[in-house]
Amino acid sequence: MQDNPIQHHRMPWSACRSFGAFGAGIALCACLLAGSPSTASAKSIHHNRHNGEVAQDSGGSSRDLPWRTVPAHSVLLKELRSGRVLYEYEPEKRMSPASLTKIMSALVILERGHLDEQATISKNAARAPKTHLRLKTGEVFRLGDLLKAMLIVSANDACLAAVEHVGGDEPQFVALMNAKAFELGLNNTHFNNGCGFDGAEHYSTAEDLARLSEAAMQNPVFRELVREEREMITPVSGQRAYLLHNTNRLLGRIPGVEGVKTGFTSKAGRCLIAKVSHNGRDLLLVILNSQRRWNTAKSLIDYGLRVTETMQ
């Protein structure tokens, strides 16, 4: 899968520093309908999916949003503390998740691996398609640094190397991903690769991806990494350093944004999951297949903060 281009520069390891901004919570994933945009109206509701109860309208309306047709194939916006859904469009539609897959990969790596372990870049990993860091066969990295690269810049070579190290090989690792999906109750999710490449048996939904993101954000290491705007990694076996710039353009631009992940393939379109924490409110946004994911995300975040302000 291919997200934004990676920028990396040769720098001395002594210059390596972490830059991060811990904001507030929201997660977003939206996906545009293939072909012409849908004219069906999305639901602007407050709904507790755990008990099926619909809360009273708190003043929000989809008419407050700046579009006549939904600019994505699938959208889910929820307030995490109450579990209320604030806005949704086709949240149960199976879609290609692109690099949002790496959220599950990272969760399995964090549960099964040790971040100080050393992982060697295989020929298979070094040949991974874009987006990649152009890691070299035989280079050795800390597993934690490969995790940084796959989450911050969505590097597929780093992802495959980490997947192979933890799982033994990719198919065994994918089995662990699907077992975790079953454990989390992701009933409309199935993986057939570790990094998010398109495939007929590789799919998820906005609802499932929201639930996965909530679980991942409970892990302190994951939570810390996805909010970093910049990071630096260097191989254990060499001097070349890689500067990582987060593909999530919301970080540092919208107050309270804490992550989570971007994704893109030709089939999946441009996807985003965002978490926002602002003035005691926690939002999670999932957008799948949207040609205007950043504008769509900002509009939905602003809308969610307005609606939840009236709830308090």
Residues labelled as active-site residues: 99, 102, 154
* Residues facing residue 283 across a β-bridge: 79, 276
Nearest to 150 by CA among 114, 195, 116: 195
CA separation for the pair 208, 245 (Å, rounded): 27
Q: Which residues contact 195 (CB under 8 A, 6 or more apart)?
A: 1, 99, 101, 102, 105, 128, 150, 156, 159, 160, 163
* Residues facing residue 278 across a β-bridge: 281
Please enumerate, as own/partner, the contacts of 233-239 that have beta carbons within 8 Å and a separation of 24 or more: 233/16, 233/141, 233/142, 233/145, 233/146, 233/148, 233/149, 234/13, 234/16, 234/145, 235/135, 235/139, 235/140, 235/141, 236/118, 236/140, 236/141, 236/142, 237/138, 237/139, 237/140, 238/139, 239/12, 239/13
Q: What is the DSSP code (8-state) at residue 96?
A: -
CA separation for the pair 102, 14 (Å, rounded): 29
Contact predicate 146/244, CB 8 Å:
no
